[in-house]
Structure 1
Amino acid sequence: MRKCIQAIVVFVLLFVWSTPSSGWPTNSSYTAAFIRNNDLWITSGTQETQITTGEYIRNPKWSHDGMWVAFTKGKEENEVWVYHMTTKSLRKVGKGQNIQWSPKHSIVAFQTDYTLRMANVDTPSTPIVTTIEDNIGNYAWNPSGNGFLVSTLSKLLPTGKWEDILLYRIGLDTETGTPNKVLLYRIPNQTDDFFAVLTSTFKWSPDRKWIAFIAVPTASLSADSNTLCLLSSDGTIFLKVGTMLHDEEWFNWAPSANQLAYIAGEGREATSNKKLTLLSSLTPMKQQIYTPADKVETGFTWYNDRTIVASRADEALWSIDAEKRPLPKLVKVDLDSGQQAMLSAPAMGFGDYAPVFVEDGRKVAWIRSNRSTADVMLSRPDGKNAHVWIPNLTLGINYYERWNWSEVFQPYGTSD
């Protein structure tokens, strides 16, 4: 009976997907969702609008057309809500976290514990929620928006060994209305040089032939080292690229070239051994480090296929005294020539984090913080005309100087 109901609900969702959009205009890319005093705000240009009052909001995520913002509510960050930009309506979707929008439709997916669910929010009443699959460690929408790539959660067996991680493609059949699951790849849980019990989300190369993800071991080990992996989209080639922290913002493909950049290095302290590394060739694998020997990276973004903007600090041993930990500045890195130029100059006691290009690349935004307060800055791509765009941003979580700013700030038109 449950499977029958599930099939009907998925069929309804697919029918909604095939219908034209409501015709609402797409928002300007000079728009952002952000958190101030724990409430959700929206800014478009210089006009700010407060959306919630007296709540605890985190993790804003834009729908593909900019008509919806999804977010988590509550200090446990386990209630999924959505806000509609035109009607100004707020709707509770359900219990969950790890929000991801379909790249094509007004469908939001999320996990309730280890169960993958999705909801059509473009309805006149309560969002339609359906369960897709249980025992999911992580997932991502496929690029076409008609299904998912998921990884199972490995469990400890009575023998003391861990289960293998299984990667499945889950398609949403438009004829039968039922999810169909096909095994793509089996990741052996433990070898002499590899151990993982779950994965990060998945990121496709621009030509859709490769999938990048982090293989994550148990919690105590993952705090210091994880394995960046590549899998061919047909599941025939699996590559271990290098070690890095479990940070999904620390690996990203170039905008249109099959080049993968990531911040390599082991150790939970972000103050040492964190190097911007470019995987310029996949087979054979060719890597190049762009971080000078006495520096570390705290984040980066692609400007184009040959240019990266990084948040870079002096390398230092860990200190319990925050004032002894160097703060980062923005650096523009030319991948062809190797030339690197300063892009920002924060005042003493402030650092520049989490660069991202907005307004179709015409401006660069970033977080400027002294670890007690934070503002969103905006400038031209060359760093000139820098000014405060969004003042008084709520601080993101800081773990050994690795800051999570995406939980409090997301411009429209950019990914995490």
Structure 2
Amino acid sequence: MKKQVSLLLIFLIILPVFAQAKPIEETIRVAFIRDGYLWLKMNGEEKKITHVGSKYTYQPQWSHDGKWVAYQVESKKEVSGESENPTELWVYNVETKKHKRIAIEGYNPQWSPVENLLAFKIGGVLNISNLDRFYNIALGVGDFGWYPDGRSFIAASGASLRPDGWTNPVLFKIGLERNLDASTSLTKNVTKLFTIPSELKKGNVSLLAIDATRFLFSPDGKWISFIVSPTASWSMDSDFVCIISSDGQHFEVIDETNGEGVAKWAPHLNRLGYIAGGGRIVFGFKNKNMKVTELPAFTSINLTPKYFAELGFTWKADHSLIVSRVKETEWSNDPKKRPDPSLFLIKIGNQQQAKITNPPRDFGDYNPSYLSSINKITWLRIKDVAEIKRDLWIADTDGKNAKLWIKNIREYNFFEDSSNKKSP
């Protein structure tokens, strides 16, 4: 009898846990574009939150606390200025369900990593909005990124063409006043960080340095990765992945990439991952290798086996990555003759690389993304890379229990509660 009572008590204790349990993917918020509208997926439900069809020209951006979504939409009104296709900036509050326009002409919205301040560009002017009004911060800015403390920016001023040739691109650190209303100068808090040489070389590859973009800080905040590119048409073929110390004292060219190149840091170690190799895909599915560079030693390893090429990647942990991989193949104008990628799991130091997805014939798996808070991977499954409709899939990190998560999705972005992140 006592044993039966004990079992009943245990059952009653754990019953609420089971009753409250939800599918783990419901803990992730997704902002995405579908058929010209902005949607949210929260608590397992999809909801359309804009109701006028528009052209969204930038990935939606979550605020640091997941309460706001910033989105950039092509303006339906004529706006005076230099922009041929002006875009408006809006924010949406997921709690009040209210939309608010931040700027009638703005682009490249980036939230502060620590508070609800939104930085963005209007022409060459860097601005910040506290969601009530916006402030001009600096002039002549190309791309930019927040410092991890949310009190400064790293920003680039691109090279310009003069009668005697191109000038140099320059990196700056731009500080913020604690009280934005008290700011009286657009130059007071600007410090030159580094002047990029006009010509960069790595091995037998050299390029003219025109712009610096895609700034990302290392986990310890001591290093910044970015992409240096030449003129726009040349950039489609060849860019450089570069590194600079956060104090501007150490600059290195790491490797060549192409116009779609992006570098990503490991979650906790100063390891930079990137897909090396110049040349756009229309020149062939080749010369695209997954590489990792360790800092501050600046030692690099190639993780791609012979006769394969990588199209995208995500870090799973400090010692493992997931890549979208194809067999090396020449380009074909016939989509059916192009290789379709699958996802592979790479463990650094382990020669075995496991294939973890098997898309159906004529479908490929692209754009892997690891969600650490639920220890899952997502990716796009696409029949033709140029196809407008594409589906978001989700699975365990070994590819098991794969399922369609969101149908017919374009640009998208995740919000993860950092306090809920799990160790893989």
TM-score (norm 1): 0.84
Is 1:183 equivalent to 2:209 in the alignment?
no
**For 1:296-315, what aligned pairs fall within 5 Å after superposition?**
296-315=309-328
Contact 2:200 2:209 in 1 (8 A): no
| Structure 1 Cα separation of the partners of residues 417 and 358 of structure 2 | 24
**For 1:13-412, what aligned pairs fall within 5 Å after superposition?**
29-53=27-51, 54-58=53-57, 59-74=59-74, 76=85, 78-94=87-103, 95-121=105-131, 127-159=132-164, 161-174=165-178, 177=183, 180-190=189-199, 193-247=206-260, 250-269=262-281, 271-283=285-297, 285-358=298-371, 360-371=373-384, 372=387, 373-394=389-410, 408-412=411-415
Contact 2:315 2:321 in 1 (8 A): yes
Counterpart of 2:64 in structure 1: which amino acid? H
Contact 1:224 1:268 in 2 (8 A): yes
Secondary structure of the 1:202 match is: strand
Counterpart of 2:157 in structure 1: which amino acid? T
| Alpha-carbon distance, 1:173 to partner | 2.6
Match of 1:413 among 394, 411, 416: 416
Gaps of 5+ in 1: 1-26, 122-126, 395-407
Moved over 6 A (4+): none
| Structure 2 Cα separation of the partners of residues 28 and 236 of structure 1 | 44
Could you tell which deviates more after superposition, 175-184 or 163-172? 175-184
| Alpha-carbon distance, 1:89 to partner | 0.7
Aligned-pair identity (%):
35
Counterpart of 1:411 in structure 2: which amino acid? F
Counterpart of 1:74 in structure 2: which amino acid? E
Secondary structure of the 1:384 match is: coil
| Structure 1 Cα separation of the partners of residues 269 and 313 of structure 2 | 17
Q: Which structure is higher in RCO with an 8 Å CA cutoff and minimum separation 6? A: 1
Contact 1:29 1:359 in 2 (8 A): no
Counterpart of 1:85 in structure 2: which amino acid? V
Residues 134-193 of structure 1, C-alpha deviation per residue, up to 9 Å, x if partnerless?
11111000110012010102111121x111111111111327545601111111223673
| Structure 2 Cα separation of the partners of residues 140 and 130 of structure 1 | 17
| Structure 1 Cα separation of the partners of residues 212 and 196 of structure 2 | 10
Contact 1:225 1:246 in 2 (8 A): yes
Residues 39-58 of structure 1, C-alpha deviation per residue, up to 9 Å, x if partnerless?
10000242011011222234
Residues 45-82 of structure 1, C-alpha deviation per residue, up to 9 Å, x if partnerless?
42011011222234211111000111111274722111
TM-score (norm 2): 0.83
| Structure 2 Cα separation of the partners of residues 245 and 278 of structure 1 | 16
Gaps of 5+ in 2: 1-24, 76-84, 419-424
Residues 236-293 of structure 1, C-alpha deviation per residue, up to 9 Å, x if partnerless?
1111101002336x2101000011010000001172211101112433x211111112
